[in-house]
Structure 1
Amino acid sequence: MIQRVEFHIDELESMKNYPKEIFYKGNLALLQQRKVAIVGSRKPNAYARAMTAQLALKLAQNGLIIVSGGAIGVDALAHKNAGAKNTIMVAATGLDKQYPAINKNLITQIEQEGLVLSQFETATPAHKYNFVLRNELTVALAEVLIVTYADENSGTMRSVEYAQKMGKKIYVLPHRIGESIGTNKLLSQNQAEAIYDMDAFVKELAPASRVELKKEDDFLIFCATNPTYEETLKKFPTRVFEAELSGIITIVNGRVRVST
């Protein structure tokens, strides 16, 4: 069911104009958690696809909510690998529409388990300028902006411009010459920081509460490495079943994930 957000979202004060109305489907509690935006090209290369997936997964495992725009390519990879319950999608249409249609199943899952936001009334179609506004809101919600692949003159680079105006840190993946020209240009001009060590980067951004919890609990430290279920059961035979039943961990494709 489409509902209207009835409270003030402080992060959106960084936008040029605070939205007149914000509509939503899903879990508004995600707005109270720490958030990072991951955006990029609709046609990333294989390296960017793999790194986007790994980065979204690791950030979500460490308690961060991933914000993106629901588009094909980098956006969809970020949402999917973070897990629907750990993601906020910002739509460029009214919430009666699921755009793009190719991501219908993913968007439905986010509506049910995560959160979808929109500045647009029901029946609003995908006008070109709506994507500009969508990008601004996406960047505003997040503490930092991560761009994993971007062409030089692209919508993604408009998101970068918003981040710069808002004074937010921008992080990018390092790419070879001739690839992701937009992010390579940012690096050459010292306008972004490169992510060379993903684990160190995630550790730096992870919420203090989650870091402290891991320091105190060897079981959770081990689980955060995404081990197989068999490895975990062998090392911590008395903890696994209790943790799974209580929701502290989940089993995904035979591997253990710390719930967020």
Structure 2
Amino acid sequence: MNTIEYHLSELDAMKKYPEKLYYKGNLDLLDRRKVSIIGSRKPNQYAQQMTHRLASELSRVGVCIVSGGAMGVDAIAHRGAGNDSTIAVLPCGIDLRYPAVNKSLLESIENSGLTMSQFDPGFQATNWSFVVRNEVVVALGDVLIVTQADIDSGSMRSVEFALEMGKKIFVLPHRIGESEGTNRLLADGKAEAIYDIDTFVGKFGMVNSEIDKSDPFMLFCATRPTYEEAVVKFGDRVFEAELSGKIIIKNSSIELI
């Protein structure tokens, strides 16, 4: 069984760093810029469509989508991103595929993307393990997007984690009486609404059809990271790419040419 042997700085935001992290799949996804997307297990049609579009458009600019592998918004976010651009964090052992309805999806993510779990093989999901799983999902993402949530939902508990970690929270604008949890976040000034998906996605990177999607470095650069972020993750590769004319540095940020 594979375990992640190196330290993930993103998880330092958690109350307690996981003792073990099991995985199946492509660890290079951890080097990508990541956005966490969560929400209702029974999203309305509007949330379904917008979740899929958000995940799809973000993955096109090199962003990796993180979610919890659950029914509803989680599964839609994973599918929208594509199996090779998503991370599923499990509430059970890495050798189990839960929930069973998402068995084929999780198997595809194992093969092309990345599944992770801090629970020992064979561990069955319980009420408390969902909460622990959710903290990892939130910690891995640069920001948290909640596309639909009721007030007393697991998604709103994840929002509490995000607030404690100082993460920016984004939500979809919903009609009165729908998604009352996210509407409350907007009313309380704890989240920002995504009114235009293209504008939102543009904050994370630029589409370039010539990007080598098998190259984690180029995908990372597509998200317009800071020069310092790129050097920390990829070292001399940054200098080589700049000298070869593949990237330029503008206002301390990296852009593809």
TM-score, normalised via structure 2 length: 0.80
Equivalent residue, structure 1, for 2:236: none
Letter in 2 for 1:69: G
Distance 1:58 1:33 in 2: 15
Letter in 2 for 1:80: R
Equivalent residue, structure 2, for 1:123: 122
Distance 2:160 2:83 in 1: 27
Equivalent residue, structure 2, for 1:108: 107
Pairing 1:166–2:165 present: yes
Show CA shifts across 1:212-244 (max 9, x none).
x57xxxxxxxxxxxxxxxxxxxxxxxxxxxxxx
Matched ranges for 1:1-260 at <5 A: 2-206=1-205, 210=206
Unaligned 5+ residue runs, structure 2? 210-257
**SS state at 2:46 partner:** helix
Pairwise CA RMSD of aligned residues?
1.4
Show CA shifts across 1:42-91 (max 9, x none).
00101000100111100001110000000000000000111000000000
Letter in 1 for 2:27: L
**SS state at 1:3 partner:** coil
Distance 2:56 2:184 in 1: 27
Unaligned 5+ residue runs, structure 1? 215-260
Identity %: 56
CA drift at 1:174? 0.1
Letter in 2 for 1:75: D
Distance 1:55 1:30 in 2: 18
CA drift at 1:157? 0.3
- Aligned residue-pair number: 211
CA drift at 1:96? 1.3
Distance 1:136 1:120 in 2: 14
Show CA shifts across 1:143-187 (max 9, x none).
000000001000000110000000000000000000000000000
Show CA shifts across 1:102-159 (max 9, x none).
0000000000000000000011001110000000000000000000000100000011
Distance 2:125 2:157 in 1: 17
Letter in 1 for 2:88: M
Letter in 2 for 1:136: E
Letter in 2 for 1:30: L
CA drift at 1:98? 0.2
CA drift at 1:20? 0.3
Distance 2:186 2:83 in 1: 31
**SS state at 2:203 partner:** helix
Distance 2:37 2:158 in 1: 10
User: Following TM superposition, where does structure 1 have runs of at least 4 consecutive aligned residues deviating by more than 4 angstroms?
Assistant: none
Letter in 1 for 2:4: V
**SS state at 1:88 partner:** strand
Letter in 1 for 2:187: S
**SS state at 2:198 partner:** helix
**SS state at 1:5 partner:** coil
